[in-house]
């Protein structure tokens, strides 16, 4: 403990000396003063507290609490989590190539990636991990298990698993590899002349992958228009968003600019190469989970009138992060600037600098939003994500789906289905028919998937208030409550279409991996259908971009 404390004290002193050296020169007296207070307090607590302390844990909690007061993107990354952070930025990590999830006391395989060690070794979704390299993992968290499974490529890993449908324990041995998760889970032709590329995230070299995908599709097909699907893409590397935009717009055009407290972050990011194709009609798909770099691309295509944006309003993350190296191989990911699309708008939705009295963060009100103009003079607005040119608002998911997913019942049904069926039909063709759906309903007959609808919650609150203020209405309200319960019992059939979508997605992932799941999801996709319609009607397409259309 003393050794740890000495190391921490040393680095605090180094930091204190460094800051003190420029404190008065640069106006950082408050930083120097409060760091001095903190180191003094930290020393006194660790020396005099009645029980033994854990300095490392105390510091990490203090850091996390401090950063939480800023924004959710400014985070401390200890050495133990560097591998996960590297995966977020590169899409690469050393491991077995599978996602995992918690189930009761154990961690189970959620999805093996095609062609990687877990898949090649025959691991399947639903397999329960009992031991890793001879050590029990019972009670371990997914983070604990992940940290053991990931590591140096070329190292052998031994797993003891239990597979659903059999009591026999199975030993699996394989070698870790450098796992590279594809940035593009699917590309293809969705109709004659209409190409489609889905981008999962903005990891390193993803713009080149998109370029190669478009070139390949063009070489094999007569491509007249492109759908770039950025739905649920959380973003990533800023330079990759610039490079992606460069595929469709001229060299030397500004894609995004950044402004921060430090002068060095007042930057303009422009395209540096000749475009791949600046004439091909383009539609970009976004939704409420499209964020950051996805919003740079969609916002830039909209500002420059280069493509039509279809879907739902994007997330609204207009903040730029940079990583700073710290001692002991740790890092700080810190928000250093806000970004602005070519029209001059910042699409940041939440104002973390001005919190409410209760500490919550409010969205920028409509009254404070500023209007900007695209290249062709169309109005666009800041302060809340990218507004699509054509809004397609799919039906919201019912509460029952949240219960089925959180209790992993669709996952469990798929596991049982795979045990009983060696194959299923091809993606885009195979559908969940009534017979299979009733089989799923039968599977749920002895399962608990209780949930409370928003209407039930409001009615329960009203009944509680009625006891004191509206006693004469209480009996009527309770009758209404019983009716609601009887209606809810039919939710499993009322929302058959939505539930079938999730079952189909899970089954496609089991038999045809992620590519199959994407293809299946596109079969009855109203947003994609609208994109195809726009690209097949050039007069409408050009009318939207010129501002003369009726959208």
* pLDDT tens-place string over residues 109-134: 999 999 999 999 999 999 999 999 99
Residue 346 burial (10 A CB sphere; 0-12, 13-18, 19+): buried
Average pLDDT over residues 305-322: 95
Q: How many CB atoms lie within 10 A of CB 183?
A: 24
Pairing of strands 282-286, 225-229: parallel
CA atoms of 45 and 267, how far apart (whole Å): 44
CB atoms within 10 A of CB 357: 5
Taken in order 249, 252, 254, 258, the sign of the CA dihedral is positive
Beta strands in 37-162 (DSSP E): 75-77, 92-95, 98-103, 106-112, 128-132, 135-136, 156-162
Instruction: Assess contact for 176 and 152: CB atoms under 8 A.
Output: yes
Catalytic residues, which ones? 292, 303, 317
Residues 6+ apart with CB under 8 A from 240: 202, 203, 204, 205, 206, 207, 293
Q: What is the pLDDT of residues 456-476, one digit of tens each?
A: 566 566 556 655 555 555 555
CATH 3.40.50.740 fits 186-393, yes or no: no
Assess contact for 151 and 175: CB atoms under 8 A.
Answer: no
Give the CATH superfamily of 92-180. Answer: PDZ domain (2.30.42.10)
489: left (phi over 0), alpha (psi -120 to 50) or beta: alpha
Average pLDDT for the chain = 87
Q: How far is the first Cα of the chain from the last one, in angstroms, to the nearest whole number?
A: 67
Q: Which two tokens stand for residue 217?
A: 């599709």
Residue 75 has, within 13 A of its CA and on its CB side, a CA count of: 8
Contact 348, 319 (CB under 8 A): yes
Residue 479, pLDDT > 80, answer no
pLDDT at 25 over 50: no
C-alpha–C-alpha distance, residues 144 and 364, integer Å = 39
- The pair phi, psi for residue 281, each rounded to 5°, is -55, 135
Percentage of the chain lying above the pLDDT 90 cut? 65
Considering the entire predicted model, what is its pTM? 0.83
Using an 8 Å Cβ cutoff, are 363 and 384 in contact?
yes
Residue 17's pLDDT is 43
Highest mean pLDDT out of 293-297, 456-460, 485-489 = 293-297
3-state class (DSSP) for residue 234: coil
State the average pLDDT over residues 175-196.
93
């Amino acid at each position: 403990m003393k050794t740890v404390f000495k190391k921490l004290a040393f680095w605090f002193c180094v930091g204190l000396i460094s800051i003190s050296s420029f404190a008065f020169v640069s106006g950082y007296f408050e930083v120097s003063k409060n760091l001095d207070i903190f180191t003094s307090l930290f020393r006194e607590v660790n020396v005099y507290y009645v029980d033994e302390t854990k300095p490392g844990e105390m510091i990490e909690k203090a850091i996390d609490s401090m950063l939480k007061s800023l924004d959710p993107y400014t985070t401390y990354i200890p050495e133990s989590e560097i591998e996960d952070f590297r995966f977020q930025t590169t899409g690469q990590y050393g491991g077995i190539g599978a996602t995992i999830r918690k189930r009761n006391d154990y961690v189970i395989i959620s999805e093996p990636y095609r062609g990687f060690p877990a898949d090649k070794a025959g691991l399947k979704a639903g397999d329960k991990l009992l031991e890793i390299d001879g050590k029990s993992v019972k009670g371990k968290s997914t983070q604990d298990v992940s940290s053991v499974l990931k590591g140096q490529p070329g190292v052998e890993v031994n797993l003891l698993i239990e597979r659903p449908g059999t009591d026999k324990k199975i030993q699996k041995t394989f070698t870790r590899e450098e796992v590279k998760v594809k940035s593009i889970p699917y590309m293809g032709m969705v109709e004659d002349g209409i190409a489609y590329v889905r981008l999962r995230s903005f990891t390193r070299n993803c713009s080149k992958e998109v370029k190669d995908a478009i070139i390949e599709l063009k070489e094999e097909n007569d491509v007249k228009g492109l759908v770039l699907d950025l739905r649920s893409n959380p973003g990533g590397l800023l330079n990759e968003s610039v490079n992606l935009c460069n595929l469709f717009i001229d060299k030397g055009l500004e894609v995004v600019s950044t402004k921060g407290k430090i002068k060095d972050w007042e930057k303009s990011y422009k395209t540096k190469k000749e475009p791949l194709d600046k004439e091909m009609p383009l539609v970009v798909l976004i939704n409420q989970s499209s964020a950051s770099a996805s919003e740079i691309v969609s916002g830039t295509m909209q500002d420059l009138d280069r493509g039509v944006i279809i879907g739902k309003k994007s997330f609204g993350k207009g903040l730029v992060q940079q990583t700073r190296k710290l001692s002991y191989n740790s890092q700080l990911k810190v928000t250093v600037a806000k970004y602005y699309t070519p029209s001059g708008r910042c699409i940041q939705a939440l104002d973390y600098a001005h919190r409410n009295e209760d500490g919550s963060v409010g969205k920028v009100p409509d009254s404070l939003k500023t209007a900007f103009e695209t290249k062709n003079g169309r109005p666009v607005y800041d302060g809340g994500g990218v507004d699509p040119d054509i809004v397609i608002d799919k039906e919201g998911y019912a509460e029952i789906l949240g219960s089925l997913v959180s209790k992993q019942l669709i996952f469990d049904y798929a596991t049982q289905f795979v045990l009983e069926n060696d194959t299923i039909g091809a993606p885009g063709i195979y559908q969940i028919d009534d017979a299979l759906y009733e089989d799923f309903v039968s599977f749920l007959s002895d399962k608990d998937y209780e949930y409370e609808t928003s209407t039930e919650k409001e009615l329960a609150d009203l009944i509680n208030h009625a006891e004191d203020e509206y006693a004469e209405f209480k009996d009527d309200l309770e009758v209404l409550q019983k009716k609601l319960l009887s209606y809810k019992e039919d939710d499993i059939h009322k929302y058959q279409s939505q539930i079938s979508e999730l079952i189909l997605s899970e089954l496609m992932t089991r038999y045809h991996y992620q590519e199959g799941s994407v293809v299946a999801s596109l079969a009855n996709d109203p947003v994609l259908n609208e994109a195809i319609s726009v690209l097949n009607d050039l007069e409408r397409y050009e009318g939207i971009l010129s501002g003369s259309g009726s959208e």
